[in-house]
Chains A and B, each alone.
Chain A
Amino acid sequence: MTQRLIGASLIVLGGSLYGLALARTLHARLREVRELVDALHLLAAEIAHVRAPLPEALERVARASRGTVRVLFSELGAAVARCSEGPIGGVWSAVLAAWADQSSLEGEEIDVLQRLGGLIGRTGVDDQVRALRHAAERLGTIANRLESSVERDARLRLYLGVAGGVTLAILLV
């Protein structure tokens, strides 16, 4: 009986931890989107005021950013600097695809960054700033939407994890 109780408790605990991990992913996603918005505004400022070449501007944004966003901009800067032939959209996509695996972002946000890769560096200052601000606005809208639902969704994920664990424990034990 004791063994059953311990087993059931472990299953419930496992389910709860899984739910907690899912809830934390939501918070991490929101944090990354917010950091991306800041990074894009910073990149727009670098382009508008400093007119630094893209590798340098991306590296500077990386230094001012944190976590996975820092990694993204640092890798983009290095890849663009290495790119000596053809448009940089291909390089941007490749870096983004590799980075997406380690980030908490989902398709919607990745799509915004992907579209930006097709425009970045190709036009004059005004167009670049417009494109970056547009991307930042779209991400900002996503962040606002996530923020309004993140607590509710996180709680829901946690409860689902606990409930799933309890259900599994009842079925197995």
Chain B
Amino acid sequence: MRLADPIRRILPRRLADALDLALDKAGSGRLQSLRIRRDKPLSVTIDGTERFPTDTGELRREPLRPLVPTAAEVEDILVAASQGSYYAVESELRRGYLTLPGGHRLGVAGEAVTGPDGIESLKHITSVHLRFAHEVIGCADKVLPYIVSPGAVRPWHTLVVGPPGSGKTTLLRDIVRQLSLGTPQAGGRGFQVAVADERSEIAGCYQGQAQLDVGPRTDVIDGAPKAAAIAMLIRSMSPEVVVTDEIGAPEDAAAVADLLRCGVTLIASAHGTSFEDLSRRPMFKPLLEARAFQCVIELSGRRGVGTVERVVDPRRATGAVAATAYARGRAG
């Protein structure tokens, strides 16, 4: 294991060297995140387990002789991540994170400066959380036949539902990639896909450029509120499919309803445990009762991230609650 170049570039040399040494000694595994807190032991998450690198380049389960970042080192990370241009990332930092080259994400915590419109900026940054971008190419293979029927003019309106950390965004990204590239179900035809990526998680855009593979026919509006981005994409890009992550806010309902009316396929994700769970929520209840979505994919982390529990077709159900279970398997 080694640190990705965009991460190494923004870390102070002392931390980067010790981390590289520790990761090298640790061998294989998937590096998921890095937590850097001022005057506290630095920790890494590898394959879901937290480890503490030592100042001598070892990885331990307990913080013994830990690598402890200084206040200046934490500040330097932000300076390097912004290319010495705090002002250029100020609006992103208001949301609490920056997207780095490679689609990796840098979350920050510190003292918030508030104003009449809420958080205006952050100062005295004390914690940095680096989450490494993770693509699973092909993880949508098993669910795509439920989204695109053979010979279909367009994919079905689809909702991916699952709890946090169940792999919704990873699955959504591979769905975007495959629909854009062309699927066997559609006779190899690729669709014009538009992504409203409010939190920069689907495409991992850095300076407007997608860092993760979202296919050749994909347009992305990055960092804009979903409702505004969806309206803009429909007006400007004439997409066949619109994809967005984590719908659920009251203002999303109108945008989703408009989209479903205008002949463009919507593929979205939502937090929840199941189709039945969503059916009880005020925002989803009318949509699901109207059978607006033709495919609901339930994810869980039961057998690892990306476990597909069920694929539900609400149209075939006698009621929204009694849905049809189509498949069990693992997406990625």
Contact = CB atoms under 8 A, between A and B. Distances in A.
Contacts of B121: 124
A125 B82 CA distance: 13
B124 interface: no
A52 B76 contact: no
Interface string B63-96: 0000000000000100110111111101100000
Interface string A54-82: 11010000000000000000000000110
Contacts of A124: 86-87, 90, 120-121
B12 interface: yes
B328 interface: no
Nearest to A128: B87
Interface in A120-156: 120-125, 127-128
A61 B76 CA distance: 26
Contacts of B12: 85-86
B87 A87 contact: no
Interface size range of chain A in the complex: 20 to 34
Interface residues of B, number: 18
A121 B90 CA distance: 11
A55 B85 CA distance: 9
Contact of B84 (A51, A52, A88): A88
Given A53-B82, A85-B12, A125 B87 contact: yes
A79 to B, nearest CB: 10
Contact of B88 (A51, A81, A87, A127): A51
B323 interface: no
Given A86-B76, A87-B76, A123 B84 contact: no
A36 interface: no
B88 A88 contact: no
A9 B87 CA distance: 61
Interface of A: 47, 51-55, 57, 80-81, 83-88, 120-125, 127-128
Given A80-B83, A86-B79, A122-B79, 13 more contacts: A51-B88, A51-B91, A53-B88, A54-B83, A54-B88, A55-B83, A55-B85, A83-B84, A85-B13, A85-B80, A87-B79, A124-B87, A125-B87
